[in-house]
C-alpha cells in the first residue's frame, strides 16, 4: 500500500460523463476479524455454508429470493429473484473444508471492493469460523458495524440454529 494511504480517506472529484466536477466522493477503508464458534465439524459447517445456504440465510434483499453459490473457484455467490439478482462476489479460494475467499461488491450499490475470507478451523467440540473482511469504497459511517454484526447474526445465530436443529 502506498505511504500515507493506509487508514486514510481519499476524496476524488467526479470528472466522468454526467458527474459534477465539484461533487467529490470519499473512498474509505475498513477491516475486521471475527471468531465465531459452531458446535459442528468443519466438514458439516462447510456443507451447510456452501450447499445449504438457502436453508438458513436470513438476510434477503427481496421477497422470494434464492441464495446461491457456484461451488468452484471463480464461482459466484449471489441472491436471485424472479426478475433479477445481486452479486455478493466471486470465489478466489475454494479449499474444502478449510477456507473460502471471495472478492466483490457484497451486493453494495455504491463503489465498493470487498475481500472476504472464511476459515473453518477444527477445535474441541466444533469449528471456529474466522471471518476476515476488508473493504474499500464509498460507505456510510455504520457500514463496517452493519456487516460485522450481520456476520455475527448470520453465522453465530442462523447457521448455528440450522446446525443444531
What domains, with CATH codes, occur in the chain? Answer: 30-164 (3.30.530.20)
**What pTM does this model have?**
0.84
pLDDT at position 25, please?
A: 72
pLDDT at position 21, please?
A: 53
- pLDDT tens across the length of the chain (165 residues): 444 444 545 554 454 555 455 557 788 999 999 999 999 999 999 999 999 999 999 999 998 999 999 999 999 999 999 999 999 999 999 999 999 999 999 988 889 999 999 999 999 999 999 999 999 999 999 999 999 999 999 999 999 999 999
- CA dihedral for 51, 126, 122, 144, sign (positive or negative): positive
Amino acid at each position: 500500500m502506498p505511504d500515507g494511504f493506509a487508514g486514510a480517506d481519499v476524496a476524488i472529484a467526479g470528472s466522468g460523463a454526467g458527474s459534477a466536477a465539484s461533487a467529490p466522493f470519499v473512498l474509505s477503508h475498513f477491516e475486521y476479524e471475527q471468531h465465531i464458534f459452531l458446535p459442528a465439524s468443519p466438514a458439516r459447517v462447510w456443507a451447510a455454508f456452501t450447499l445449504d445456504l438457502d436453508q438458513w440465510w436470513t438476510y434477503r434483499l427481496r421477497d422470494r429470493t434464492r441464495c446461491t453459490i457456484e461451488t468452484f473457484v471463480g464461482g459466484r455467490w449471489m441472491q436471485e429473484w424472479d426478475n433479477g439478482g445481486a452479486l455478493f462476489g466471486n470465489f478466489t479460494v475454494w479449499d474444502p473444508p478449510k477456507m473460502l475467499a471471495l472478492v466483490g461488491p457484497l451486493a453494495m450499490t455504491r463503489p465498493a471492493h470487498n475481500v472476504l475470507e472464511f476459515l473453518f478451523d477444527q477445535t474441541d467440540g466444533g469449528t471456529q469460523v474466522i471471518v476476515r473482511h476488508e473493504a474499500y469504497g464509498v460507505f456510510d459511517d455504520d457500514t463496517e458495524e452493519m456487516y460485522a454484526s450481520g456476520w455475527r447474526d448470520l453465522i453465530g445465530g442462523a447457521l448455528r440454529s440450522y446446525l443444531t436443529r
